[in-house]
Structure 1
């Protein structure tokens, strides 16, 4: 998985993952250099991944290597800006469009503080997965609350990287990622068979991938308030299903309705939508929730395009329950994706496999990632700082899903959703109707 994310960066297919959150102080203090730097120093000392770089070889066939940096210069990777007009989705879009370079003296992360309160923590996927994002904000919150309140002394921006800190190993070091021969033969068949023979021929996957890599993208953020989140989770429990399964059923059903209404001439040819659902491998690798690692895989499937009405009373709870159970049953097979990637790299096919997607029909229409509720932050005594309004977004707009949906729980109890899509990946009228339809249908389900 680490080599995969390095390659996507080298090809210009991906930039970073960004987690955003708003910190507030009971005293009204702002996140100045004097306040933030001691807390970031704590993060660098706790997480070895924040003190490394990647050295790539002369050719893509050379195996990239992690190298430990001697120090981290916070002044080079931390920015303080003022912006009282841009919404969070525009600020996220700006951060997601900025690359993190390999082979430099800077680490593979950066922090942007907006208006002294909102932190945008961007990190390369090679050092951390989506679940690592909330872990970073939680660690930062704990560090802010544990540092002395007196911050009159400006701290140095130079942080020495602990040379004995242990970097988390790859997922295959902790769990079996081997691929059964039948599964491998099936994947090879899909690579060589005529496209008309495959399920992808009748699957909606948005517009074709760009012929030339571009990270131009759009971002839309949406928050489900805490009372509605509580009611939604209550309904999930009552129907013996999960939030991920409900959102999957909701989004696929709304997409089907939007396609039928706005693209009736083509809708008859689309029987399914190809959906990608990232799943954490931490249960298999035993990595704790607070660890920074790239222990993630993805499960793929073709969901039938059955239009969903806007009325909440019509929601197909049985379909959501079936999807949730099916997804749970497939989780043990998720590590096989890493084995398939290993085969591509071992046989020297990886770069050609991914560049071969340029200008072709996109492989995935919808991506749905739910990293779950925000982790508990241990606190001794009264907290001086609190955190809310957490949003998570990722790039991968070149060969990734036409539209990606990232879901994260925020400490104040809201469920925050980020929609991202590449420029031209999906028609503007479709995506606007899709997002509006999803909100309308969910509001109806919750009686609001």
Structure 2
């Protein structure tokens, strides 16, 4: 692998799509993630190399590595070549143990000593199970759900296997995201629009702690780069993160699909790592990035208002008495305690709480083909609580964005995933049309 000398990007203060790396001075967080998919046919090396080359070209975060891991705002270099032979390992395991793989990956990457290695690794277990381990703290621009969907898509490509190289080369000219200073504060006088009737929450659909269930469905939405640029510009004017906009759009789509009086649960769980500024540190808890926060939005709102976009102030005092801005799950702090001590004590041991919620079901591709996903798995140290309806987003400033809407249709109802996907597209079109009219 070679590292270009001058190609770098600097972290930004808001948004998954504007920064790939969180603060690196504090390394006491166990943020490794393992995601896997089991296919119905053996996965050859040429096929996995081909799929990874296309994935990495779409997701530049997978090409990044840290130049100065202890800096408050690190500079990043981008690999111009990646030798997949060094990051893909074929292994036979009689009993597949994802925790063992996560422990192996963490041992190498936890201290960021291997700065010339990618912050991810792939295992192919027993020929059919493809596993991706990555540092979610660093590669926050990599979405595991997107990975699994893209992987299966690319494995079904028509290729000539003997012509697939193991060394992928990339265009290293990635423009740094410019610093934007003309940010306008939110309107303090804005009042949420009244709701015609009081909505009734449906906890079976939008429960904050709902376990994922078999039969999950995924729908992909590709947002072109021109639209991303417009949305990002509108977000910066209002000092909100682009990912926060996407998740707010999801909530509106949910409102339209489940209209008043049924409504939806307005306390939607959101991982602070996706929305807080990169330099944010929790002043009241050693949990730091592992605290889950909530934002109360107008219940059953079916029209878009910028004031409703999830917004957090860097200096907000975390308190359960004021959940209009943020809410800390106080019972989670004493339960978990010091992340590093607890997680290191569990290395190599089964984590029942993690594994109990690790099965995301199966994604079936309509075209079929030799590489159809049979099972999908997810494991993360900070208890992956997955609501029955969720969204993942991945992309790079200046490029396209891929949104993945996931629904457990055994909970949400048949056909709801398509309905929510369609409404997400409509809301995004409405925002883009309004922005175009202003211009």
TM-score between both structures, scaled by the size of structure 2: 0.46
Structure ranking higher in helix proportion: 1
